[in-house]
Structure 1
Amino acid sequence: MKNLIFTFLLAGLLSPFIGNGQGCMESDSDEGVAVVGYVQADYDNYFFEEDKNGNTLNKPNSFYFKRARLGVVGSIPYDVSYYVMAEFSPVTQGQPYLLDAFVTYAPFGKYAKFTMGQFKSPVGLELNTPCHALHTIRRSTVVNNLATPFRDMGVMVFGTSDSLFGKKDLFAYNIAFLNGSGLNNWDDNKYKDIAARLVISPWEWLKIGGSYRTGKQDIKRTDQIQTTRTRYGADITFEYKNFMLQGEYLAGVDEGQASSGGGCGGKSSLAADSLTFSKSGFFVQAMYMTPWRVQPVIKFETYDPDKTSYKYLFVEQDFIQTTLTFGINYFLNDWTRIQVNYLYNSEETAKLEFPNDAFMFQVQVKF
């Protein structure tokens, strides 16, 4: 019955259109189709030697493409727009793949827009910062782990208050129903994730945001069957003239049950005790745009995985890590940017601190 009710509600919501989410780029044209995209050419040098167990990490330095994206955006009379973006960088999956594809219907202007397709999850500040507008080369570790999956298939309603309360965009909101299975994946269960974000801007120089996402998964692992995944967070942006200060906190709770048996093709059984992992972290970053188009950036971040494993710069680890990023952004023009980052890493709960700092260099061109 619940599924039937949800289906009818969904059909009623989407019947006027085929349905936009939040993409990374926008078209300058009000009508017709436009080709958009950007290329990020990178060089990374990892100062890795041995991990906490004395194993040689042997991470080479390399030139590569972090992102090479090409897409089309446009609008159709009346109130319908579309967005399709593909990733051509071979680093992530080894071949091109569909990144975003959605249709948006905006019968109520900025107040309410309806999207259907594959798009970014509305969770978090840094995740919803366009990929070509990130202030550091890589997203924070807490965002890379707790805002996932970054993209999903589903429907979303979003909008702003516009000038309804006598002030421009006093608040903005996003509410989405998602598969929960991530990029280009068919849903693997009957449940749907619910994700939401609210941003309040009482003054032009201040934005305060909150995010939430929850859903059930059928992710089977050797020693765990995860059943519920919940994420919540808060963020703030202070921007005055050429100075910007941002901070974001994200927390997540994964609830599952321990499994026993199942070896040699046998069937596993659930133990009585459930497993709960509480993960959290935050980042704070500050930057200042000088008159010479040079923008120094400093960023402090930390992530507590609650002893679960996660990947940092392609290396598996399970300890609390703090990262201090020193960066310089140089804008040659409105379309070309050079970024230089040095990442100093400190392992708080590892047995020994080991060399795993990194130097990153990126040239970006967007069109």
Structure 2
Amino acid sequence: MKFRGILILLLLAGLVATAGKTVQEKPFKPTITPYLKVQFWNVFSQGVTTDDEEAADRFASYFRRGRLGVKGNVLPELSYDVMLAFDNLAKDGYSSTKGVVNAGAVALWSAYFTYDLLPESDWLNVTGGYFLPHVSRESTTSPWTTSSLDKTENSCYLRQFVTGKANGISPGINLGGLGELGKQTLIYNISIINRQDVVSIMQTNWSPVLLGHFMLNFGDKEFSKYKYCFSNNLLKKQTSATFGVGFSTQGKTDVFESTQTLSADATIYLGRLKIDGEYNHLIRENNEEYKANCFMVRAGYNIFLKKDWVLEPIAMFEKFSGDENFEDVSFFDGTDTKLDFGVNLISAKKKVKVNLHYVYHDGDGIKNRYIKNTTYPGNYISLGLQLII
């Protein structure tokens, strides 16, 4: 009995001594995660025409995209992502695929941080650095998740019009977030960026680009947490609809008086079926008013196979049309039309993708980002392999 009494007194003393103390959490350690992403294409091209002279049909293999980077967290609420690129490495100059030839250059693609100001709600995130601004959904959708063979030209025209660069990467700051509005999910992004292209020389006149994008998700959730880039295919069965609107505006520069764009987009999941589309209206004022339109619609069907693979047949149509007074505002004229029919075989974790696509081009006028202004791209078949490590 005496021993039990002493033991009880010792236990009570220990409880009193530790009363009010809390168990210390383990200190946070910064994280760093390296990654490698590649898209290797094998392309048979035909019909490439330059100055009315048609190039020979050809087969060529090259790296459509190559990205090497590191990402992680400096603090629990402060993340970062730095990426190098070796896109179009070893591309044939007369291949029908878009993009300039790269003989071996590696360059900085993007470098930005995101600070979550309200971690408990996800409503307020600040992103700064050298990044891709949110001017529409397709323009900021990851090319590694797209259902068509490549990102649509629709987004390239829009990004080049707004930022002056085909890839759209720009220096600036973005305010974005995600939150619940009743049963719906709202995602928003608003950015201020500075153009760096020669079309927007601003020695005498300077004005930044203000742009933004807002999306509302109905039905099953397409987004559970705020992320800076979007996915084009969730690779799962669900019923949902996400509608978005985007805008951009810039004032006077040394080259033009003003630029505005207005965009609308939609992504709809009906079980295995996914349909998405986007429309963009472009206006630029100078000596004359220039207007252009570009839109795309894309559909895919997810067939879930054994061993966590997804087979996705897809079809996509897109078109650009611009006014004849394009030279007055330094942009593009005529029409550019593309059809894409293909099939993708994707691992459920999106680490591997094999795709086979046929792409048809048509149109007239000066095109976007081909060998030179008088070159027409022709048609091609591509067998691609994508790896994310």
Q: TM-score range by the shorter chain?
A: 0.7 to 0.9
Written as runs of structure 1 = structure 2, the 5 A alignment for 1:212-291 is 212-216=247-251, 218=253, 225-256=255-286, 274-291=287-304
Q: Which one has a larger percent strand, Structure 1 or Structure 2? A: 1
2:171 partner amino acid: M
Where has structure 1 moved over 3 Å in runs of 4 or more?
A: 57-61, 89-94, 185-189, 216-219, 307-310
The SS at the match of 2:334 is coil
1:260 equivalent in structure 2:
none
Structure 2: distance between partners of 1:191 and 1:70: 33
Which residue number in structure 2 is paired with residue 103 of structure 1?
Answer: 113
Aligned to 1:179: 194
Give the aligned residue type for 1:305. G
Task: Name the residue aligned to 1:122.
Answer: 134
5+ residue gaps in structure 2?
1-27, 90-99, 221-239, 367-375
Query: Which residue in the other structure is 2:151 paired with?
Result: 139
Which residue in 1 is equivalent to 2:360?
344
The residue that corresponds to 1:365 in the other structure is 387
- Post-superposition Cα deviations, 1:127-184, rounded to whole Å, max 9, x if no partner, equal 21112111112222222112223111001100011x4x443x611100000002269x
The aligned counterpart of 1:71 is: 69
Aligned to 1:10: none
Amino acid at match of 2:62: Y
Correspondence for 1:13: none
Where in structure 1 are there 5+ consecutive unaligned residues? 1-28, 220-224, 257-273, 311-315
Residue aligning to 2:234: none
**Paired residue for 1:302, among 315, 319, 335?**
319
Q: Give the Cα–Cα distance (whole angstroms) in 2 for the partners of residues 348 and 190 of structure 1.
A: 34
C-alpha contact (below 8 Å) 1:30/1:74 kept by paired residues: no
CA displacement 1:272-296 (0-9 Å, x = unmatched): xx12210102111110011232110
- Give the equivalent residue in structure 1 for 2:33: 34
Residue 50 of structure 1: CA displacement? 4.1
Report what 2:84 is aligned to: 86
Higher radius of gyration, 1 or 2: 2
Give deviations 1:34-81, integer Å, cap 9, x for gaps: 112311111222211546x63334574421111110111111224211
Q: What percentage of residue pairs aligned between the two structures are identical? A: 20
Offset at 1:344? 1.9
Check if 1:195 corresponds to 2:211: yes
Correspondence for 2:339: 324
What's the RMSD between the two structures over aligned residues?
A: 3.0
Q: Which secondary structure does the structure 2 equivalent of 1:130 belong to?
A: coil
Q: Which residue of 1 aligns with 2:235?
A: none
- Check 1:227–1:63 CA distance in 2 against 1; reply closer, same or farther (3 A cut): farther
Instruction: Output the TM-score relative to the length of structure 1.
Output: 0.74
Greater CA drift, 114-123 or 330-339: 330-339
Encode CA deviations 1:11-37: one digit per residue, 9 max, x unaligned. xxxxxxxxxxxxxxxxxx995111123
Give the match for residue 12 of structure 1: none
Q: Could you say if the C-alpha distance between residues 349 and 192 of structure 1 is closer, same or farther in structure 2, counting changes exceeding 3 Å?
A: closer
Q: 1:103 to 1:299 in 2, by over 3 A?
A: same
